[in-house]
Chain A
Amino acid sequence: MFSKGTKRKFSDGGEELPEEGLPGSNEELSSVSYSLQRQSLLDMSLIKLQLCHMLVEPNLCRSVLIANTVRQIQEEMTHDGSWQAATMMEAFAAASAAGSGAAGPPERLVATEVLCRPGREMNGSPTAEPKLFSVMGYEECREEEVVAVEEDSICSEAASNVCLSGSMGHCWERGMLRGERELDSRLGAPDEDVDVEEEDEEEEDDNELEGCREEGEAKAMRQVFGTFEIKNSHPGPESALEELFSDVDASYYDLDTMLTGMQAAPKIGPYDLLDSLSQSHTPSSLSSASNCRSDLNELDHIMEIIVGS
């Protein structure tokens, strides 16, 4: 269904949402293509938000409009996600009952299950995981928690397009970034920032993937709006520069690699999972590999900024 490494073109004519109730086999296909389009729009928007590290202050109106678009897509994806999970459950049940096993949904289900597991294994205890501010607010997070509990091993954000978008990388980078961020927040970030962090830490979330993906987006959001506030309190240009660089996180790279078709070999990709459905890749070895790699990438990125600007 998805060809590896192909950049998915957002066809201009197909913005309008095809109704879910379309009869026949077209339904799944058009909703998948709509999901793809929506996903690529989301990726494009996140890149736009993150490319704000320029010498001149970015246009606030543009940033707000892009952020609102991202929020809108997120909300829609959440709705779709929970609905799709339900439909997938039915499909899975029907398939297993029929004995044939439909190629699509069960594979996706298994894939999501596998994707969810390494993320969970990585964390020692759920409470230790600080949950970043989610643009969707706390209410929606709780919603997902409930769904996750109900669906048991299936992630609530089981919309396969979300899992398949390489958000796994986010989880692994989080461990590395967490320490960085905490350090930043203790180094004299304004009080409001620290409060937000502490509040988030109290909020538990079973759904790691949701947090991971949102982290990338929330970080982008925070960067955009945070830039205007945080920088006010920093005493001098040096710490402002530091702040500029500390905001560079590897989640940007994950988007980047995802869009270019995930060429990097050691990084586990959802396509690999789909193909092999094997669990030969252990999370621990991969996480260290990807951590090193992302370190290098981050360094490259920083160098680019220094040289490029």
Chain B
Amino acid sequence: MGEDGESTKINHSFLRDYVTEADVISTVEFNQTGDLLATGDKGGRVVIFQRETQSKGEIEELGESGEYNVYSTFQSHEPDFDYLKSLEIEEKINKIRWLPQQNAAHFLLSTNDKTIKLWKVSERDKRPEGYNLKDEEGRVKDFSTVTSLQVPVLKPTDLMVEVRPRRIFSNGHTYHVNSISVNSDGETYLSADDLRINMWHLGITDRSFNIVDIKPANMEDLTEVITAAEFHPKHCHLFVYSSSKGTLRLCDMRASALCDKHSKIFEEPEDPGNRSFFSEIISSVSDVKFSHSGRYLLTRDYLTVKVWDLHMEKGPIETYQVHEYLRSKLCSLYENDCIFDKFECVWNSTDSVIMTGAYNSFFRMFDRETGRGVTLEAWRESSKPRAVLRTRRVYTGGRRRRGDVGVDSLDFTKKILHMAWHPDENIIAIAATNNLYIFQDRVNPETQ
């Protein structure tokens, strides 16, 4: 990624159109400080970017934030085969979550459909030299040449980033893992598949607790699946999970060992005026995120993003239309399977702005205070590095402005599904197929 060099000039046009399936980015995540940004792709690789600090120790000027450069690349998951079911297990990385940093090393969890792995990312910039029994290459010395004793010393070397798997949490899931979430207690995390949620201890790999199980006794009675799950950012006993029927369930682990009974259920009653055969499909929640404060929930379904107050179960407190113009196209989108696309949604650091992706390389940001939304584009052709992003508009009637895009000319293969917002600053990372875009707010780089 990003290491093309000369080959870019030679067959740039060819490379531009040819997207290797394995390079498609499937998840993006900042760590808790925002210095590291991890991306996972369909080929099972993880690429970690690190933010360069302009000048260490000096105060950064406003607007001059460091750039992100590749820090480390490693193969997290390999394709696997389930011999019992005669089915392949994809190596695609579904989610990455960073652990809070406790020492010099960084830890992250990455998961594919079945297996979760804990990786340790550490730096080495010194190496011991001057061994008595071995020479510089590691070969055993001829003892006759050793005449005196020396103490090995640590000498600085080039920076090396080592990534090692520390834990492998396997055989916990029969169905496809869609979410992982690290608990605020720093010791446990949850993993959710279509029908079950398990809680693991970071140190124990051969056992997990099953805390939610919605599998019916008869699989033919199955009508609802789990689509996403997350721990509360502050209360280690609370977690939320969303379903394909558009409900959110808040569960308290203090209530019982198996949290099949929710503490609260958040559901918006269906609008009878908008009812169609696709109503259920478009109500399916594709992503759920707690606000940083822990007071609100952000959910994404096919056409909207909604903000919910944990204290009010009967409906969302805010609803934002992402691409309402697609409502009349639902049948075509059902035909080409786009209606099943799972978009993510994110909060900014102060929970005042929410962001989600759409089609045609567009993504949308909504200011919660004003209620206004803006459409931006993550597309190389229309933006040069360091150029200001201009807002885009989809033409849905009325006066047509220059630059407006018609609904029928939207490219549904260019979808922005995955994105992340820096935990403290106004820097966003957008995954557009196999490209990663990093945008930052020059006007207000620091959040107020």
Contact = CB atoms under 8 A, between A and B. Distances in A.
Given A12-B328, A240-B86, A135 B220 contact: yes
A13 B85 CA distance: 42
Interface in A215-242: 221-222, 225-226, 228-229, 231-232, 234, 236-237, 240-241
Interface of B: 82-90, 113, 174-176, 194-195, 218-220, 222-225, 227, 244, 276-278, 280-281, 284, 328-332, 334-335, 337, 340
A114 interface: no
Contacts, number: 99
B244 A64 contact: yes
Nearest to B340: A62
Contacts of B225: 60-61, 64
Contacts of A41: 277, 331, 334
Contact of A232 (B84, B227, B280, B334): B84
B2 to A, nearest CB: 29
A44 B335 contact: yes
B340 A65 contact: yes
A57 B176 contact: yes
Contacts of B174: 228
A-B residue pairs, 10 tightest by C-beta:
A240-B86, A225-B219, A231-B85, A60-B194, A15-B276, A57-B87, A237-B86, A62-B340, A61-B225, A65-B281
A95 interface: no
Contact of A57 (B85, B222, B224, B331): B85
Contacts of B332: 12
A234 B82 CA distance: 13
Contacts of B222: 64, 67, 225
Contacts of B88: 55-57
Contacts of B335: 44
Contacts of B220: 133, 135, 221-222, 225-226
16 contacts: A12-B328, A12-B329, A15-B276, A15-B278, A38-B277, A56-B88, A57-B88, A61-B227, A64-B225, A65-B244, A65-B281, A231-B85, A237-B83, A240-B85, A240-B86, A244-B86
Contacts of A10: 331
Interface stretch (A68-76, A80-88, A202-210, A267-275): A68-76
Contacts of A244: 86
Nearest to B86: A240
A65 B284 contact: yes
B277 A241 contact: no
A100 B175 CA distance: 61
Contacts of A12: 328-332
A60 B176 contact: yes
Nearest to A72: B277
- In this complex, which of B83, B85, B89 has the most chain A Cβ atoms within 10 angstroms of its Cβ? B85
B87 A61 contact: no
A225 B195 CA distance: 13
